[in-house]
Amino acid sequence: MVEIIGKMLAGNKFSAIKEMLSEMNIVDIATMMEEMEPEDQVRLFRLLPKQSSADVFSYLDSDIQSVIVDAITNTELKFLMEDMFLDDTVDFLEEVPANVVTRVLAHTNPETRKLINKFLQYPENSAGSIMTIEMVSFPENYTVHQAIDEIRKTALDKETIYTCYCTDSKRKLVGTVPLRRLIVAPEGTLIKDIMYDDEQLISVNTLDDQENVAAIVKKYDLLSVPVVDKEDRLVGIITIDDIVDVIEEENTEDFEKMALLHPSEDQYLKTNVFTLYKNRIVWLLILMVSATFTGQIIEGFENKLALIAGLTGAIPMLMDTGGNCGSQVSTLIIRGIALGDVKITDYFKVLWKEIRVALLCGITLAIVNFVRMWIIRSVTHSDVQLNTFIVICLAMICAVIVAKTIGCTLPILAKMIHLDPALMAGPMLTTIVDAITLLIYFSLANVFINAGLIAG
């Protein structure tokens, strides 16, 4: 496709290209443009039907958006900005270089410019920063006939017309009415008689976190949610397509935090080496330094480790098993908290569940491990004492219980003290569990040695 268009562009077959573009989905056009050379991108953009160029532009990556804005005339730019939805304009301006922003603002009308500046000031990830102002709203004392008439007239400039918002004389949000209700209602009915109000009216505040907005939209299966300011005045809406993006963004952030990466909003392939380094190194350093404790524990026991065959070799297995058990439960709990299934008040329920699971897992692992070590001992004719195996297996059971306990406690504790539970996943947990596992292991070994059950 890209090649065909490229050849057509080279051959100046503009009318054929226009014909083709008018038949294509705007998302497909944007996807196709991303694979083209910069000069072709600009040429193709200019061939787009006027009414769809703003839509296609919204779907482009910010680097291509910059290229296009650099290449088009001020008149074209003005037209483009007027045709775009405000949330897309703000998204675009947040990503491009300052000189592009300046030029764009210079070529929008003063009213829009004021609005854009206001939107750019909403805190990152707030409802205000992702909302748009192109909604359908009318006074609650309109009739159904008046309302539908209003919708007909303005439908094409609105981000959605499927939920309409009703305001009182002070622009306060007093109700919502789905288009579906309007369409089946008799023409003379007053909007205030069919709108959802009071208990049923769902709205968010400009400063609400986008994660909470997403949770509300998911819970109530909404197509859009109204955004109000401190005085309950309707200032914008957030539509489901933006909520889907928020959901994926928040999930990505959780994945990143669980692997102790500094969250980044850029795609992997577009992030440069130094940024990747920066996003990773801090946690790596912290964790490495905290492994000092584990090292010290081992060094404190080094003489005995050297004397008794088989003890050192079990260290990685105990550490890995503890870490794996901890990861499993912390992942489940973190995800449960994120989806709202697990609450702080469920802690004791969770703990009691995990202790039982830990016992089952620990005993199974210990038995299999004993058999495994026995077989290796027989095959290799080693002289490891059987009681050493018992120490290792007992340590295994304790390690699993400790790992599961800490694994379910840390995320809930984090939630309690308003930290992000996702930080308490794998790597962080492993470091803590490792140290405790080794302490238990060496203490058990000491008990056996002092009781004369293992000989040095």
**Residues in 126-155 that interact with a second copy by CB under 8 A:** 148, 151-152, 155
**Single-letter residue type at 92:** F
Retrieve residue 154's tokens: 């303005």
- Contact between 335 and a second copy by CB under 8 A: the answer reads yes
Choose between 234 and 350: whose C-beta lies nearer to a second copy.
350
Choose between 51 and 99: whose C-beta lies nearer to a second copy.
51
Q: Which of residues 364-383 bind a second copy (CB under 8 A)?
A: 364-365, 368-369, 372, 376
- Contact between 3 and a second copy by CB under 8 A: the answer reads no
Q: Which of residues 190-209 bind a second copy (CB under 8 A)?
A: 196, 198-200, 202
C-alpha dihedral over 174, 179, 184, 186, to 10 degrees? 50
- DSSP class of residue 35 equals T
Q: Which of residues 234-293 bind a second copy (CB under 8 A)?
A: 240-241, 243-244, 247-248, 251-252, 254-256, 258-261, 267-269, 273-274, 276-277, 280-281, 283-285, 287-289, 291-292
Retrieve residue 32's tokens: 């196709």
Choose between 104 and 325: whose C-beta lies nearer to a second copy.
325
Q: Which of residues 28-57 bind a second copy (CB under 8 A)?
A: 28
C-alpha to C-alpha distance for 135 and 95, rounded to whole angstroms = 25
96 and 66 Cβ atoms separated by less than 8 Å: yes
Q: Which of 315, 397, 412, 436 binds a second copy (CB under 8 A)?
A: 315
69 and 77 Cβ atoms separated by less than 8 Å: yes
Q: Which of 71, 332, 351, 390 binds a second copy (CB under 8 A)?
A: 332
Q: Which of 109, 212, 312, 443 binds a second copy (CB under 8 A)?
A: 312
| Complete DSSP assignment for 99-156 | HHHHHHHHTS-HHHHHHHHHHHHSPTTBHHHH-BS---EEETT-BHHHHHHHHHHHGG
Size of the site for a second copy (CB under 8 A): 113
C-alpha to C-alpha distance for 276 and 139, rounded to whole angstroms = 51
Q: Which of residues 340-359 bind a second copy (CB under 8 A)?
A: 341-342, 346, 349-350, 353, 356-357
Q: Which stretch binds a second copy (CB under 8 A): 10-18, 108-116, 167-175, 361-369?
A: 361-369
Q: Where are the alpha helices (DSSP H) in 35-109?
A: 38-47, 50-59, 62-71, 74-83, 86-95, 98-106
- Contact between 386 and a second copy by CB under 8 A: the answer reads no
